[in-house]
Structure 1
Amino acid sequence: MPKSVDIENSDESKGKAPLIADGKEKKSGLKKVMGIFDFILRLAAIIAALVAAATMGTSDETVPFFTQFFQVQASYDDLPTFRFFVIAMAVLAGYLVLSLPFSVVTMVRPNIVVLRILLFILDIVVLSLGTASAAAAAAVVYLAHSGNPNTNWQAICQRFGDFCQKVSGAVVSSFVAVVFLMLMVLLSGFIFLKNARK
């Protein structure tokens, strides 16, 4: 009789143990999937930020003014807003490259909360920088395309078509990088919410 009770107890404990392990494995697996998604978003944001910085940094065009002897040049470094844009996108891409190893660590060891919080705070700072530079450059690009009759600012894109096309592409790419950063911040917030509900 005692032997059968021991066997039943051991069967019950054997039955319960896998259920607990399965729950932990599911939570750990979900965190790893989120870590992989975070890593992919970082790579995509790096590419978008580098494309934006390189496109803006190489945007210049020289067109003749009345005759071939007089030429007018438009370059990104003529405007402080575009210079700020190039620097901000380069900083953004540099930060994301440096954050990749930390993202791998949080993917392999998802229970390291301090590192996740540090990445979350720095992601928000870089997101603010990227949004500010992209918005400022977008305002200047809009003026270049449309001008402002109230202040007698002429639209220059009729004359500098290639230049405007390049800076417009750089601004679009920067907003793509900003969207990826926003998704990273939302993902980190979702991970914190999951941890808080434990």
Structure 2
Amino acid sequence: MATAEKSGEIAINMSETKASTKGKAPLLNSSKAFAVVEPPNRGAKRGIAIGDFFLRLCALGAALGAAISMGTADQLLPFTTQFLQFEAQYDDFDAFRYFVISLAMVTGYLLLSLPFSIVCIIRPLATAPRLFLVIFDSIMGGVTIAAGSAAAAIVYVAHTGNPNTNWLPICQQYGDYCQSASGAVIGSLIAGAVLFFIVILSAFALKRS
């Protein structure tokens, strides 16, 4: 700052005071400088992953219940004699034996798939675990529906019989046995439907990547 005196008047010349700010970058708001911008579909993917986990638990319960119900289907008629027993078991039919083995495999897979589903919740943008689940969910869904359909055919004949081949309905005598087998078939079809719904959800999540 410089001053000059001339004819009783004082003139003051102000120099630009930019030295304090020269060479310094403007301060930024720390909250804005370190803000992390999330992808717009991250929340949607996490919601789908959470729904996938709970649906997987539902499918696991249905498949396990179906396998146990069919594996414990056993009834002995009260008019059994010393030399002849009228007993019905699940392994009397190959379709029922295939059903129990298939549903046991599906139950084991669903139990092992839960950690992968948790990974999708923690990392909703990860593609590899979701793609793995889509492939094996599709396979296990097909196995579940195939086993349920094969068992349903036997249950239908057990309930209605077949007059063309003189097959009599056995559910009139083996009521508890048929009830357990019918419940197992319904549980397997529910598990298969839930699995295919999970596949649709996962495919939708992959499409939004």
Say whether 1:141 aligns with 2:155: yes
Mapping of residues 1-198 of structure 1, within 5 Å? 21=37, 24=39, 26-65=40-79, 68-69=81-82, 70-195=84-209
Residue-by-residue CA offset, 1:148-176 (whole Å, 9 max, x unaligned) = 11111111101111100110011111111
Measured after TM superposition, the shift of residue 119 of structure 1 is 0.9
Which letter maps to 2:112?
Answer: L
Which letter maps to 2:69?
Answer: T
Q: Is the 8 A contact 2:141 2:193 kept in 1?
A: no
Distance across 2 between alignment mates of 1:171 and 1:159: 20
Decide which structure has greater helix share.
1
Distance across 2 between alignment mates of 1:192 and 1:118: 11
Distance across 2 between alignment mates of 1:148 and 1:139: 12
Q: Is the 8 A contact 1:64 1:71 kept in 2?
A: no
Measured after TM superposition, the shift of residue 71 of structure 1 is 2.7
Q: Unmatched 5+ residue regions in structure 1?
A: none
Q: Unmatched 5+ residue regions in structure 2?
A: 1-20
Ranges of 4+ aligned residues in structure 1 off by more than 3 Å: 67-70
Measured after TM superposition, the shift of residue 60 of structure 1 is 0.6
Which letter maps to 1:172?
Answer: I
**Structure label with greater radius of gyration:** 2
SS in structure 1 at match of 2:77: strand
SS in structure 2 at match of 1:150: helix
Which letter maps to 2:122?
Answer: V
SS in structure 2 at match of 1:74: strand
Distance across 2 between alignment mates of 1:110 and 1:32: 5
Distance across 2 between alignment mates of 1:162 and 1:95: 30
Measured after TM superposition, the shift of residue 139 of structure 1 is 0.6
Identity of aligned residues (%): 46
Q: Is the 8 A contact 1:127 1:178 kept in 2?
A: yes
Q: Is the 8 A contact 2:102 2:147 kept in 1?
A: yes
SS in structure 1 at match of 2:37: helix
Aligned length: 183
Aligned-residue Cα RMSD (Å) equals 2.3
SS in structure 2 at match of 1:84: helix
Distance across 1 between alignment mates of 2:43 and 2:127: 16
Residue-by-residue CA offset, 1:76-118 (whole Å, 9 max, x unaligned) = 0111100100011110010000000011001101122122111
Distance across 2 between alignment mates of 1:183 and 1:132: 17
Distance across 2 between alignment mates of 1:183 and 1:119: 13
